[in-house]
Chain A
Amino acid sequence: MVTYFTDIYNGLLSLFVGMGITFKEFFKPTVTVAYPYETLTMCARFRGHIELVPDEEGNSKCVVCGLCEKACPSDCISLAGEKPEGGKKKELTKYVLDFTRCSLCGSCVESCNFGAIDFSKEYNLASTRKEDFIFDLLKRLEEKKK
């Protein structure tokens, strides 16, 4: 009989304690960010899709060794290059990233010995078409140059 009433009392008490917690939370400021209206800055190491790093003249540092292509677990990268006439080094003619398959592991960036690729900070990537995610990175680099 005594436990019957103490159970009721303790139960009710625990309910009021819980309500006290939510009451306090009610008056605390909100913590969320209204996303499309406000955005957070991405941290320095954020890993977006990869991008070609320009040298001082705005050209790609890539020497077309193909290590990134080999390192990629999902075959996202396809690149090609050719030696210009009279030139010594190979020059990049094509660098396509198939972002639909990329899992952002960063193997390509690690494998590059020339610092030619790096992560971008882009995350606002949304589209209903698959083709929008096949990036021509060389073209992006040239656009950046302008």
Chain B
Amino acid sequence: MNSPIVLQPDETFILNVGPQHPATHGVLRVKMEMSGEYIVNAETVIGYIHRMHEKMGEVKTYPQFLMNLSRMDYLGALGYSHCHVLVVEKASGIEVPERAEYIRAITVELNRIASHLFWFGAFVMDLGGFSPLMYALQDREHILDMLEGVTGSRLTYCYYRFGGLYNDIDDDFISAARRFIPRMRKSLVKYRKLVTGNVIFRKRLEGIAPITSEMCRKYGATGAVARGSGINFDVRKNEPYSVYPEFDFDIPVYHECDSLARYMVRMDEIEQSLRIVEQGLDKLPGGPIMPDKKPKMIKPPVGDFYQAVETARGSFGVRLVSDGSKNPYRLKLRSPTYSNMHLFDEACRGMMIMDALAFMGSLDLVIPEIDR
């Protein structure tokens, strides 16, 4: 596999992967210096869909910026909105009703499953298998239908508000979610048989692209990339926020450090998210979804605030520097894939192109989220 080859510097050529390439899932470009099929050096070029969300955050008022968060990561949008509302609530001391927090947790976890399902399909498609994508999309469709019924949109939700939610969930949602859980568990068995156990699939991922935990630390990798490298780190457990301490769930950690480990972490996470949804539905308290005293204007006090949450892709953080006005003074969005993608350049050296692209798939990239 990664057999040592002696590279002559004058025998290399530059291969331009992207910005329009089937494996990059968006407008990502990697300039690869190749020696035959082996990568000698790679340089990732990002920024093709940079939209300067951080400047928009400074120009817009707090509520006006709500919808921007879901445009960052279109697959797991709710986790990002969650972080934004949490940091503003923390800064301005808004109490969130318990029911609202439970609904947030349930919807975020459903969204996480949807995101992982899409990743699963796209990842197997990167490896050349098409049908799993379709099966994954069928399952994901149920989640999108559920969330559409509550939030009104299917992908770029604008659901959370400072202090609560835009809409309460109804009985349709609850019964649909309850029906979805056993269905998804059945599907997971199917995926295990069809994909996880498949000898071709395993041979392509086992031992490919090892990322040591030290490398994760140096690059600040989080999420499944870190957990696949034996790091037991999940913001939901390490720095519990929202109502996550109320739930009983595990953090899957694999010590193999390879692409298969990252795959296994995400597949196990789907199961754990199902558990959270199940418990959330059981424990769902009644009550309002917005605080009684809804603040008329969001004006956090002067100061510097930080909040991290665990999104589908890793630890997402928002740093809010407030000057006490109705616009943030500075809003920094720390996106997880930005750090995860960064280690690609170093990790893919010496790999064959097909392994490198499989590795890229295992990082679960969403380009708008890197470029912001």
Q: Which residues of A contact B63 (CB under 8 A)?
A: 71, 107
Residues A105 and B158 in contact, CB atoms below 8 Å apart? yes
- Residue-wise, chain A 85-100 has the 8 Å CB interface mask toward B (1 for contact) of 0000000000000000
With both chains docked as a complex, state the minimum distance between the C-beta of A34 and any C-beta of chain B, in angstroms. Answer: 16
- Cβ-defined partner of B152 (8 Å) among A15, A21, A46, A71: A46
Q: Mark B37-69, 1 if CB is under 8 A from A, else 0.
A: 000000000000000000000001001111110
Is A45 a contact of B152 with CB atoms below 8 Å?
Answer: yes
Q: Give A residues with C-beta under 8 Å from B.
A: 10-12, 14-15, 17-18, 20-22, 25, 31, 43-47, 71-73, 103-107, 110, 119
B307 at interface by CB-CB < 8 Å: no
Number of B residues, CB within 8 Å of A: 30
Q: Which residue of A lies closest to B141 (CB)?
A: A31
Residues in A with CB closer than 8 Å to B135 are: 25
A142 CA to B66 CA, complexed, in Å? 33
B2 on interface, CB distance cutoff 8 Å = no
B20 within 8 A of A: no
- Determine if A21 and B66 form an interchain contact, defined as CB atoms under 8 angstroms apart: no
Query: Nearest chain B CB to A70's CB is how many angstroms away?
Result: 9
B260 to chain A, nearest CB (A): 14
Contact B156 A103 (CB under 8 A): yes
Q: Are A73 and B60 within 8 A (Cβ)? A: yes
Q: Are A106 and B60 in contact (CB under 8 A)?
A: no
Find A22's partner among B131, B158, B199, B200 (CB 8 Å cutoff): B131
B197, CB-defined interface residue at 8 Å: yes
Distance of A103 Cα from B152 Cα, bound (Å): 13
Q: List 24 A-B contacts (CB under 8 A).
A: A10-B199, A14-B198, A14-B199, A17-B194, A18-B194, A20-B193, A21-B194, A22-B194, A25-B135, A43-B145, A43-B152, A45-B149, A45-B152, A46-B153, A47-B152, A47-B153, A71-B63, A71-B64, A72-B64, A73-B60, A73-B68, A103-B156, A103-B158, A104-B153
* B138 CB-CB contact with A under 8 Å: yes
10 closest Cβ pairs, A-B complex: A11-B199, A47-B152, A105-B67, A73-B64, A105-B158, A45-B152, A21-B194, A43-B149, A14-B197, A14-B199
Most buried by B among A31, A46, A73: A73
CB-CB under 8 A from A107, the residues of chain B are: 63-64, 66-67
B222 close to A (CB within 8 Å): no
Is B185 interfacial (CB 8 A cutoff)? no
Query: Which one of B145, B152, B190 contacts A119 once the chains associate, using CB atoms below 8 Å?
Result: B152
Query: In the complex, are the beta carbons of B198 and A15 less than 8 A apart?
Result: yes
B209: chain A residues within 8 A (beta carbon): none
Q: How far apart sit A135 and B321, CA to CA, in the bound complex (Å)?
A: 38
B199 touches A31 (CB 8 A): no
In addition to A18-B195, A103-B158, 9 A-B residue pairs with Cβ atoms within 8 Å of each other are: A10-B199, A12-B199, A15-B200, A18-B197, A43-B148, A45-B149, A103-B71, A105-B67, A106-B152
